């Protein structure tokens, strides 16, 4: 195995571990999510901050789960482009909640950080995988 392949395998394993930890962290936010739902009711925005986080979670976890299970994605270029757009901190509702979370919702703040970290790891994995595919055998 080449050094790059070893690196990809290590990243794949770490992504799988982080997915498990993210699930635990999400479960730990249950009480805070109830409080957030009460304190951030539906506004003029299409989605609430919690719904925005759910949408990001589904996308990011979906990519991470595929990598953890098989090490590949069908369309890695499309996934890279989408993951670059999905930055947790590009969403003003999530940023607003995140700044509020510092003092009121520490578990949710931790979850948001971990979700974005997972996104970055998946993005790095896919970019490294593309680089390896371009290298001569």
pLDDT tens figures, 3-15: 778 889 999 999 9
Tell which wins on pLDDT, 118 or 103.
118
Q: Closest Cα to residue 117, out of 11, 31, 36?
A: 11
pLDDT tens figures, 5-57: 888 999 999 999 999 999 999 999 999 999 998 888 777 778 889 999 999 99
Find tokens 């520490």 and name the residue. 106
Q: What pLDDT was estimated at residue 137? A: 57
* Mean pLDDT of the chain, nearest integer: 90
Residue 31 CA, distance from chain mean position: 21
CA distances from 69 to 16, 39, 50, 55 (A): 8, 38, 27, 21
Quote the pTM value. Answer: 0.91
Q: Closest Cα to residue 67, out of 134, 117, 11, 5?
A: 11
């Amino acid at each position: 195995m080449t050094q790059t392949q070893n690196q990809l395998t290590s990243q794949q394993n770490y992504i799988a571990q982080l997915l498990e930890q993210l699930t635990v962290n999400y479960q730990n936010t249950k009480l805070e999510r109830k409080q957030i739902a009460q304190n951030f009711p539906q506004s003029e925005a299409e989605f609430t901050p919690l719904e925005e986080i759910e949408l990001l979670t589904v996308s990011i976890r979906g990519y991470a789960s595929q990598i953890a299970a098989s090490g590949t994605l069908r369309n890695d270029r499309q996934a890279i482009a989408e993951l670059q757009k999905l930055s947790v901190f590009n969403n003003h509702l999530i940023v607003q909640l995140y700044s509020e979370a510092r003092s009121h919702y520490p578990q949710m703040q931790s979850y948001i950080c971990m979700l974005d970290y997972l996104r970055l790891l998946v993005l790095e994995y896919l970019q490294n995988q593309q680089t390896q595919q371009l290298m001569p055998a």
